[in-house]
Amino acid sequence: MASAFESFKVVHQYQLGSIPEELWQPLFMKLGEDYLDAGNFAELHHGDPMEGYSLHVKADKSLKKHSDIFLVDHAWTTSPETAKEELKLNLALMDRLENLMDIKQAEAPENSDDEEDEDEKPSEELVKLVASQANVTEREAEKALIAENNEVVNAIMRLTIDPEQKAESERLDDLMMKQILASGKPQEKEDKEKHDKIERREQREKDWINQRANNIYRKMWSYIQTYTYSILQQDGQPASQTAWYINDEVGSAICHSSDPNVVCVPFIFSRGATGMIPYSVFFPIKDIEAGEIITCDLLPKSVQRESDKLAYLFAFQDRVLLTAELQSKRDELLKSFQQEREKLQSQTFAPPESHSLSPEQVLEALRKEAESKPKAESITVCTDTAFIQQFLKLDNVKFTTDPAKADILWTSQDFQGWDSLEPHQIVNQFPDEKCVTYKHNMAELIQKTYGLPDWFMPTYNIMTQLSEVVGDYLNSEENQETNLWILKPWNMARGLGLDITNNLSEIVRQHDNPVPKIAQRYLVSPCLYNGKKFDLRYIVLVRRTEPNLLALVYNMFWTRLANKKYDMDNLDDYECQFTVMNYSKYEMTQLDHKSFIHNMEKQHNIKWDQVQKDINAAIKHVLVAAASTPQPLGLAGRDTSKFDAFSVYGFDIMLTDNFKPVVIETNFSPDCTRACQYDPEFVNNIFSVVDGRFGSTEKGLKAFTPL
* pLDDT recorded at residue 134: 83
Residue 567, pLDDT > 50, answer yes
* pLDDT recorded at residue 121: 74
Rounded Cα–Cα distance for residues 315 and 335 (Å): 19
Chain segment 662-683, per-residue pLDDT in tens: 999 999 999 999 889 889 999 9
Chain segment 592-628, per-residue pLDDT in tens: 899 999 999 999 999 999 999 999 999 999 999 999 9
The dihedral through the CA atoms of 202, 207, 213, 215 has a sign that is negative
Q: Taking residues 94-104, what's their average pLDDT?
A: 94
Residue 133, pLDDT > 90, answer no
Q: What is the bridge-based pairing of β-strands 426-427 and 408-410?
A: parallel
Residue type (1 letter), 360: E
Percent above pLDDT 90 for the chain: 66
The dihedral through the CA atoms of 4, 10, 15, 20 has a sign that is positive
Distances (CA, A) of 158 to 121, 130, 138: 17, 11, 14
Residue 91, pLDDT > 60, answer yes
In this prediction, residue 132 has a pLDDT band, given cuts at 50, 70 and 90, of: confident
* pLDDT recorded at residue 493: 58
Q: Which of 57-66, 75-84, 115-124 has the lowest mean pLDDT?
A: 115-124
Chain segment 212-222, per-residue pLDDT in tens: 999 999 999 99
* pLDDT recorded at residue 174: 65
Q: Burial code of 1-40, b = ≥16 C-beta within 10 A, e = fewer? A: eeeeeeebbeebeebbeebeeebbeebbebbeeeeeebee
Residue 155, pLDDT > 90, answer no
* pLDDT recorded at residue 118: 52
Of 611, 665, 629, 325, give the one whose Cα is nearest residue 495.
665
* pLDDT recorded at residue 50: 83
Residue 93, pLDDT > 60, answer yes
In this prediction, residue 192 has a pLDDT band, given cuts at 50, 70 and 90, of: low
Q: Which residue has the higher pLDDT, 149 or 544?
A: 544
In this prediction, residue 131 has a pLDDT band, given cuts at 50, 70 and 90, of: confident
Whole-prediction pTM: 0.84
**Which alpha helices (DSSP H) does 60-184 contain, by range?**
83-88, 91-100, 124-134, 138-147, 152-160, 163-183
Rounded Cα–Cα distance for residues 669 and 430 (Å): 11
Chain segment 399-441, per-residue pLDDT in tens: 999 999 999 999 999 998 898 999 999 999 999 999 999 999 9
* pLDDT recorded at residue 439: 95
Residue 365, pLDDT > 60, answer yes
Per-position DSSP letters for 212-278, written without gaps between them: HHHHHHHHHTTT-EEEEEEEE-TTS-EEEEEEEEEE-HHHHT-EE-SS-SEEEEEEEEE-GGG-EEE
* pLDDT recorded at residue 114: 46
Residue 189, pLDDT > 70, answer no
Compute the mean pLDDT over every residue in the chain, rounded to the nearest whole number. Answer: 89
